[in-house]
Amino acid sequence: MSILETAPRTLNAGAADDPAITELNAAFEAQRRAFAADRNPGLDERRRRIETLIGMMLANRERISAALIQDFGAHPVGASDLIEVLGVIGRAQYVLEHLEGWMAPQPRHVDAVTLGTSSAYVQSQPKGVVGNIVPWNFPFDLSVGPMIEMLAAGNRVIVKPSEFTPACAELLREMVSEAYDPSLVYVANGGLELARAFSALPWDHLLYTGSPNVGRQVMAAAAANLTPVTLELGGKCPALMAPGSVTAKNVESVIGTKVVKNGQMCVSVDYCLVPRADLDAFVEHAKAYMQRAAPDYSNGPEVTGIISLRHLDRLAELLQEARDSQCRIVPLQQDERIDREGRRMPMSLVLDPAPDLRLMQEEIFGPILPVVAYDQLTDAISMINAGERPLGLYVFAEDPSVAQSVLDQTTSGGAAVNTCAMQSALPSMGFGGVGTSGMGRHHGEAGFREFSNPRGVFVRGEGDMIDAFYAPYAKAEALVKAALSAS
Ligand code: NAD
């Protein structure tokens, strides 16, 4: 292939038809120019950008809560503040504390015998202009959260929120345009055409969070530009309760996690594996917890609305199919109605469903929990391994060696022992998937490294044998002979 035939890194064609795409292209070009003029912002400037982000989140705390309620129909204020505001601020503060150390050159070993006084180090270099495609379920945590590490790494950022959360998307655009120059951070809002055009831009890095199916399309679009991608995808996260672990506290942890965003969370428990003899105990603990925590759950203050009617209808179909197959279904409240107008439904357990039911095949992403009975722990492990590699895996076991043995025999993006989902809440630990649950990591240092170019730098000193690599090769031959006779 001649140099003229290589794929050009061009902007979207057809932009003239869609003002949102024209604007996106202009913002992208402006960021590229700004990056070319300032390739390596220093520590103080990066810190300032992150402090601006903290101020932006604090100033808009109440508006964020209101926008979430508008898009979801219902969204508990406590959960909005904790996850979408304070969680993001805590993540930013952690980065501020550690950024200086992460930015420092990382020295590498150099063999003094052959390379004399030469030295080597890895320089974490900004990548450039980074895109972030965001899903609807955590409109702020998944847009502003990764932005922290993208900015910490010295990049410029364009965010594309989900079209399913228009109030949050509009608020984010407003907040960001008040806080930042668009040549540093910009928010592009629009529909599917814009989303496609976004993933086709020649980013220096592209983060996509969403379903595996769209993840495939995003990765294919990025491949045309050889753009590196981080894919944060979904799937079915299992909880495995080892014999003896079906206690009130542990069942509360499973169901309590399910209540967060009403199950619409990538690290939620998708299904729970329980020793056959403990199935009834699980049901009783689950009922008792919900009676205590949210007795009229779907009508009460703890519920998050289902994002769309289409999604609610899909969940209702999953339940109906289970009911038609004679599964026992246990709603964890008295009112069993599915409220289409309010986009609410009860939290329900589906006991021991057959593996070919749709709810055992696709990610549930809502208030339905299949509770699958197993006879031997090895059967439960085989069930997990028969599926795709999950984003999160949760093991409940009193004996740490049992938990470790389950971890050793399975593969997942992250895992938690004796609780659920907490592996995703630490700024000190990289977060991401494996296989169909994704690739790459963000959060804290892992995110900083992901959005940096780890440039390896070698600095020649004195007294080395580097000229052995150059012709004539008599010196190389002598060196090889000496090395072979010494070994
Ligand atoms: P979604 O429908 O909001 O889509 C996600 C984003 O992709 C949106 O911004 C959308 O506009 C964009 N998009 C859609 N089609 C596109 C295309 N062809 N090209 C480019 N962009 C496109 O959200 P969703 O996919 O329904 O999100 C739910 C999924 O996300 C679940 O599977 C969940 O597990 C997963 N998820 C994963 C994580 C994680 O961190 N691993 C976090 C949250 C959600």
pLDDT tens sequence across 124-169: 999 999 999 999 999 999 999 999 999 999 999 999 999 999 999 9
Where in the sequence of the chain do the CATH 3.40.309.10 domains occur?
Answer: 238-427
User: Which mutation among 158, 173, 203, 211 tests ligand 1's pocket best, with the greatest number of atoms within 8 A of CB?
Assistant: 211
Q: In this predicted model, which residue has the larger pLDDT, 3 or 154? A: 154
> Which of 141, 159, 265, 266 has most ligand 1 atoms within 8 Å of CB, for mutation?
266
Atom number of ligand 1 nearest to Cα 164 = 3
* 231 alpha carbon – ligand 1 mean position (Å): 10
For the domain made up of 238-427, give the CATH fold. Aldehyde Dehydrogenase; Chain A, domain 2 (3.40.309)
Mean pLDDT of 453-474: 96
Domain 3-233+440-454 carries which CATH code? 3.40.605.10
Q: Which pLDDT value is given to residue 487?
A: 80
Average per-residue pLDDT in the chain? 96
pLDDT at 15: 58
What CA–CA distance (Å, rounded) separates 156 from 29? 11
pLDDT > 80? residue 16? no
Mutation pick for ligand 1 pocket among 134, 140, 231, 233 (CB with most ligand atoms within 8 Å): 233
Residues assigned a catalytic role: 232, 266
Q: Give the pLDDT score at 102.
A: 98
On the CB side of 420, CA atoms within 13 Å amount to: 26
Nearest CA to ligand 1 atom 41: 232
Confidence of residue 26 (pLDDT cuts 50, 70, 90): very high
Using the structure block, give the residue that is written with the tokens 């004996």. Answer: 399
| Residue given tokens 């592996």 in the structure block | 423
Q: What tens digit of pLDDT does each residue of 391-445 get?
A: 999 999 999 999 999 999 999 999 999 999 999 999 999 999 999 999 999 999 9
Residue 13 has pLDDT above 80, yes or no: no
Q: Greater confidence, 15 or 319?
A: 319
Look at residue 11 in the predicted model and tell me its pLDDT. Answer: 64
| Interval between CA 63 and ligand 1 midpoint (Å) | 23
Residue 232: CB within 6 Å of ligand 1? yes
State the pairing for strand pair 414-417/368-374.
unpaired
Question: Which residues lie closer than 8 Å to 210 by C-beta, 6 or more apart?
Answer: 133, 135, 162, 232, 233, 234
Q: Identify the pLDDT of residue 17.
A: 79
- Average pLDDT for residues 356-369, to the nearest whole number? 97
Q: Find the 362 Cα to ligand 1 centroid distance in Å.
A: 15
Residues of the chain within CATH 3.40.605.10 domain(s) are 3-233+440-454
Is 135 touching ligand 1 by the criterion CB < 6 Å?
Answer: yes
pLDDT for res 5: 41
Q: How far is the CA of 364 from the centre of ligand 1 (A)?
A: 14
Please give the C-alpha separations between residue 120 and each of 40, 449, 456, 457, 459, in angstroms, as whole numbers: 20, 18, 7, 6, 6
**Helix 248-259 vs helix 279-293: crossing angle, to nearest 10:** 60
How does pLDDT run across 192-217, given as a tens digit for each residue?
999 999 999 999 999 999 999 999 99
Q: What is the pLDDT of residues 77-110, one digit of tens each?
A: 999 999 999 999 999 999 999 999 999 999 999 9
Q: What is the pLDDT of residue 2?
A: 39
For the residues 39-52, what does the mean pLDDT come to? 98
> Is pLDDT of 56 > 80?
yes
